[in-house]
Structure 1
Amino acid sequence: MAEATRYALTGIYGGTFDPIHYGHLRIAEELSDILQLNHLFFLPAGQPRLRNAPLATGEHRLAMLREAICGNDRFSVDDREIRRPGETYSVETLQEIRLEYSTKKLAALCFIIGADAFIKLPCWHHWRDLFELCHLVIVNRPGSVSINDSSALPDELRHACQSRWTGMADELKNWPFGRIFTAPTSLLDISSTKIRNIVTSGKSARYLLPESVLNHIDRHHLYAGEK
């Protein structure tokens, strides 16, 4: 009997990372273990269509990401959305990455997405195409709706996802794309908004994010004029 095909998993963690903090980093670290990822790429957004523009420039957000993951050989930064002019669409980025991985026949992408963003998936550009490009790995966030099954989803999204759920991370390796997994990660109550507000108020954000990132914020006076 032929042995079942098993795919090597690569994580793609998108977000504005404005700034990156320990909540992001802990999720990435835990997912690397839970999913047994070959590698994880942080994918900072350029000009997202469905949310306000980031406060820090793309160059500063890239620099903070690189400071934060320095020394961790499981992580890298993918800067293609920062370099791309105009609004950025996740489906176009994943199409590019999928094409790059086309020579790696047993590779599968895991697109990491917060529960709050996942619920809004039908508002995304060509969102149904995502299921033909990658697996979706959902991470719950403190204070937001938890996604443990399809009951909390809008009808359109629930119908599109109903046959795609898996409760076991290892099952993602059996498919090249198209599965949905909710990851049991630690819910650290840290947000980029909270950090920006703390910095703006002149208080200390120490221990919410890496010291190297905090030093970059201080050195370049980021977020000082947000309010």
Structure 2
Amino acid sequence: MSGTETGDETGPPRVAMLGGTFDPIHLGHLRAAVELGEVLALDRLHLIPSHLPPHREAPGVASSDRLAMVAAGIGDTPGLTADDREMRRDGPSWSLQTLESLRIEYGEQARLIMVLGLDAFRLLPEWHAPAALFDQAHIVVIGRPEHQRPDDPALEALIRGREVSDIPSLMAHAHGRMMYLELPTAMAISATEIRRRLAVGTSVRYLLPAGVERYIRDHQLYGPDSQ
């Protein structure tokens, strides 16, 4: 992270949210979080497990366990926060409400960023009030190099006039812009594959932080006897 304190004389705080089911959180998620902090000079990055994801089936593992795994994965990593705010709300976990709460917490001048993977970004026009997301935050899209830019008229209409190509242009505004960002060491790790391995008892070593692997074992998650 940037090493600055939020709200100090260096300028408005730079804050990002990285949401997802985190079912379970793995080294790909965590490496991306660290690199986002470095590249964007963030003061804080909130990793927010979705409690009731509106666009997909609810995970089979309770949100409390997924939050605990996020906390175990983060450990003492500076600048990363395991955030339970979606678990404290009733109803679907709309990203707009999450951004609104972060905006209230950090103030109108904060540079607030919602981070999306390319697959989630492709579906953005289907989200709840997608245009209103830009009233609260920037959107930064991270993706694998082999993926191509989406070619969808609804998505193009949504981001028209908002795209910037560099970080200073993004950070010149508190919200309302979007940018594609390729991270230096993106890791193609699949939570689906991790769950499959755990279900059949094969190794997940070096796919998960040791603390997350330990939590899964101690709480008997994902394995053949977990249901």
Q: Same fold (TM over 0.5)?
A: yes
- Look up the match of 1:167: 165
Paired AA for residue 161 in structure 2: S
- Look up the match of 1:127: 130
- Structure 1, unaligned stretches of length 5 or more? none
Paired AA for residue 133 in structure 1: Q
The percent of aligned pairs where both chains have the same amino acid is 37
Change in Cα spacing, 1:56 to 1:140, as seen in structure 2 (3 Å) is same
Q: Does the aligned pair in 2 maintain the 1:13–1:43 contact within 8 Å?
A: yes
Paired AA for residue 201 in structure 2: G
Paired AA for residue 135 in structure 1: H
Scaled by the length of structure 2, the TM-score of the pair is 0.89
CA–CA distance in structure 2, aligned partners of residues 114 and 58 of structure 1: 21
Q: Does the aligned pair in 2 maintain the 1:115–1:146 contact within 8 Å?
A: no
Superposition CA RMSD, Å: 1.9
- Look up the match of 1:40: 45
Q: Does the aligned pair in 2 maintain the 1:6–1:106 contact within 8 Å?
A: no
1:6 positional shift: 5.8
CA–CA distance in structure 2, aligned partners of residues 68 and 142 of structure 1: 26
Q: How do residues 8-157 of structure 1 correspond to structure 2 at under 5 angstroms? A: 8-102=13-107, 105-141=108-144, 145-147=147-149, 152-157=150-155
- Look up the match of 1:187: 186
Scaled by the length of structure 1, the TM-score of the pair is 0.89
1:122 positional shift: 0.9
- Look up the match of 1:208: 207
More moved, 82-91 vs 199-208: 82-91
Higher relative contact order (CA 8 A, sep 6+): 1
The one-character-per-residue Cα deviations of 1:112-145 (angstroms, maximum 9, x if unpaired) are 11110111011111111001110001111487x4
Q: Per the alignment, in what secondary structure is the counterpart of residue 98 of structure 2? A: helix
Q: Does the aligned pair in 1 maintain the 2:20–2:50 contact within 8 Å?
A: yes
Q: Per the alignment, in what secondary structure is the counterpart of residue 132 of structure 2? A: helix
Paired AA for residue 175 in structure 1: H
CA–CA distance in structure 1, aligned partners of residues 113 and 152 of structure 2: 23
Runs (4+) of structure 1 moved beyond 6 Å?
none
- Look up the match of 1:177: 175
